[in-house]
Chains A and B, each alone.
Chain A
Amino acid sequence: MSGGAPTATGPGPGGPAPSVRQPAMQWATGPAVPVISVIVALLLGAVFVAATGNDPIAAYAALARGAFGTPYDITETLVSAIPLVLTGLSVAVAFRTGLFNIGAEGQLLVGALAAGAVGARFAELPGPLLMPLVILAGILAGAGYGAIAGVLKAARGVNEVITTIMLNYIVVFVMHWLLQSGPMTAPSALGTPASARIGDGAILPVILPNELVPLSRLHAGILLAALAVAVFWFLLWRTSLGYELRAVGLGARAAAQAGIDPARRMALVMAIAGAFAGLAGMIQVSGVFQRVFDGFSSGYGFDAIAVALLGKNSPLGIVAAALLFGAFAHGGAIMQSNAGISSHLVSIIQALVLFVIAAEAIVRGIAGRSRRGRKPVEAIA
């Protein structure tokens, strides 16, 4: 299956082998399936736009102009792509180990809450002290939350799909409590419950001078995201731990034969996945919002599944897919205000992308490489 598109889940110890087998730079050499998926989704989306009495060409033109029309729009597209890169890495590192992390959304929120709490609590600290603290808080909180699913998987064989779905909802309600009547409640001018503003030292600076791109919000989080991509690549393809993780992803039983304990690697990789997502939450707090509020994430953790699959779990692929989805996110909002077409069109297109990737057999047919024998998804639980 060297040309195989990534499968979603992998085996428990002793389960069937998944087909997450492509070298790191697969996407760069073989982007046929992802590109076709996007084209098919755009075509289906166009049919839908036409069927509802709108002009698809005008819609897509507005979408593209919205995403890339001015230098400012390009920076906003990048701002939207940053959390998607990180949550995409989170989902991908788990896929590479044969696990399905649906929990990036929850891990992102936990990371954001931790970063927001630390950033506000120690607001007086100078930046060189506070910034590392806030970054660490986001990463550790996300890692801890991810580790819950990993440890339950390793110790009790619990399917991580179930636990991560449940953990996503748990953090939402905890967040309601923290922000509405719990210890993080603060006077809010947002019209929605929010935490106190973080200290200046915890804020990621805008990196483009105002004279170059007026009002740009493009912040230093983009550098952290780039660093995370490098870490992802280095960890998986340049360390022995990464080798072991990928070995477990290729086949837990074979890995066990080779002396790797799949359970321990699975527990660990969920913590790593949570760390990436937690960093995404921290970046949204420190780079964009300066606080945490109800409805903080617009589903970055869920979009991440499509980002990872579209990017074939490879570093470059994830960056490309996150840029595409970032363009959808920013462009969609502009399209709605300028062309009067609901920004939800982009959700439809993203769903279609995901669906077409899931129905990989069909894309393969279109790509002219009909292949059978996808490995089954593991039984739920």
Chain B
Amino acid sequence: MTVDMVIGASVLAATLRLAAPILLAALGGVISERAGVVNIALEGSMLVGAFVGIVAAEQTDSIVIGVAAAIIAGTLLAGIHAIAAIHWRSDQIVSGMALNILALGLTSYLNFQLYGTTGTPADVPDLPTVADQSILVWVSLALVPLTHLFLFGTVSGLRLRAVGEHPRAAETVGIGVRRVRYAAVLASGALAGLGGAYLSLSVAHSFTDGMTAGRGFIGLAAVIFGKWSPIGALVAALLFGYGNALSTSLQGATIGDTRVPVQLLGTLPYLLTILAVAGFVGRSRPPAADGVPYEKEGH
């Protein structure tokens, strides 16, 4: 094992590359949960984004249309969750689980239907890079201060947080609780869809069944570990991305005679998140009305 394997330039570059999709999902999760809706269908939004992004880019030969289609697809899936969670007051965890399974089933089914067993074509257009990183990496980083400013520096952001903390009070001062929640959930799906586009169009240049491989859930972990704040989510995403980068760079490395158990690095995001919610690493407290369906008075 060498120092380069742990903090070399390639490891840091990989950290950014691996953190970006987690960050995009996490920012979506922060917005949605701050408004009081738990969206564990982020994983599904990401997966449909990844798939639709590839198909649209390949059909139109336009990377812009590919990315836009991915965002729309992620938003649509989140829209179903929004209707279920807000309008029908479904259980948000069950609805989210159902949509994750649906996303996996739909994309795998259509992937088989469209491309058979040969896989997606290799000639999809590529995303531009800036300083050796996909432009979407920089977009995801830029979205952190923007989301922070929106949530904590604008009236709309204040309203969104009010809806997640105390919907009844928000309603009495004239804020449309349902409308705000719809907007927040849709935005979370858009961000996750963008994360999916990044995975398929920029990292893999193809689509494979289930390729998001739990990144939406790591995003959810980053929301919690980052204490429901955009900056916290960034720190968490970078930390989780770093762990991920390490597990690649330390592949086959040894300390003395022992092989480094790199696979165990994969447990890092989940272990840290459990420790954080249990209060062993700071205390993570969700918005007061997070996950609680809102019903107008008199119903």
Contact = CB atoms under 8 A, between A and B. Distances in A.
Interface of A: 7-9, 52-53, 100, 102, 152, 156, 158-159, 161-163, 165-167, 169-170, 172-174, 176-177, 180-182, 302, 305-306, 309, 342, 344-348, 350-352, 354-355, 357-362, 372, 374, 376-381
* Top 6 A-B pairs, shortest CB-CB distance: A347-B105, A351-B102, A173-B266, A177-B263, A355-B98, A354-B98
B105 A379 contact: no
Given A166-B270, A376-B293, A174 B264 contact: yes
Contact of B109 (A161, A172, A344): A344
A220 to B, nearest CB: 31
A358 B90 contact: yes
A176 B95 CA distance: 30
B271 interface: yes
Interface residues of B, number: 60
A377 B91 contact: yes
Contact of B84 (A165, A346, A351, A359): A359
Interface string B133-152: 00000000000000000000
Given A348-B102, A377-B291, 11 more contacts: A8-B93, A161-B93, A166-B273, A169-B267, A342-B113, A346-B105, A354-B94, A359-B84, A361-B90, A377-B292, A380-B33
29 contacts: A9-B91, A9-B93, A53-B113, A152-B274, A159-B277, A162-B224, A162-B273, A169-B266, A169-B270, A170-B271, A173-B266, A174-B264, A180-B263, A181-B259, A302-B101, A305-B97, A306-B98, A344-B105, A344-B112, A347-B109, A351-B98, A354-B101, A358-B90, A377-B91, A377-B291, A379-B286, A379-B288, A379-B291, A381-B277
Given A8-B94, A351-B105, A377-B293, A162 B88 contact: no
A358 B292 contact: no
B99 interface: yes
B264 A173 contact: yes
Interface string B91-126: 111110111111011101110110000000000000
Instruction: Give the secondary structure class of B's interface.
Output: helix
Interface stretch (B7-15, B63-71, B214-222, B230-238): B214-222
Contact of A181 (B263, B284, B285): B263
Interface string B255-299: 000010111111101110110011100001111111111000001
Interface in B204-260: 209, 214, 217, 220-221, 224, 259
Given A169-B270, A342-B112, A374-B89, A357 B291 contact: no
Contacts of A354: 94, 97-98, 101
Contacts of A177: 261-264
B40 to A, nearest CB: 8
B175 to A, nearest CB: 19
Contact of A52 (B105, B113, B262, B273): B113
B38 interface: yes
A6 to B, nearest CB: 9
Nearest to A161: B93
Contacts of B270: 166-167, 169-170
A8 B91 contact: yes
A176 B261 CA distance: 10
Given A52-B113, A344-B108, A156 B263 contact: no
A7 to B, nearest CB: 6
B105 A348 contact: yes
A84 to B, nearest CB: 14
B253 to A, nearest CB: 11
Contacts of A376: 89, 291-293
Contacts of B94: 8, 305, 309, 354-355, 357-358
Contacts of A165: 40, 217, 220
B105 A380 contact: no
A187 B95 CA distance: 42
- Give the residue among B217, B277, B293 with the most A Cβ atoms within 10 A: B277
B84 A156 contact: no
B14 to A, nearest CB: 18
A9 B291 CA distance: 11
Contacts of B266: 169, 172-173, 176
A99 to B, nearest CB: 12
Nearest to A100: B93
A17 B109 CA distance: 40
B91 A358 contact: yes
Contacts of A8: 91, 93-94
Given A167-B274, A348-B105, A381 B267 contact: no
Contacts of A170: 267, 270-271
Interface string B149-160: 000000000000
B214 to A, nearest CB: 6
A351 B44 CA distance: 12
Contacts of A374: 89, 293
A355 B292 contact: no
Given A158-B277, A344-B105, A381-B277, A358 B291 contact: no
Contact of A352 (B102, B264, B285): B102
A182 B261 contact: yes
B298 to A, nearest CB: 12
A309 B90 CA distance: 13
A355 B84 contact: yes
Contacts of A306: 98
Contacts of B264: 173-174, 177
Contacts of B299: 372
A176 B274 CA distance: 20
A238 to B, nearest CB: 29
A370 to B, nearest CB: 13
B120 to A, nearest CB: 15
A372 B40 CA distance: 25
A347 B101 contact: yes
A8 B97 CA distance: 11
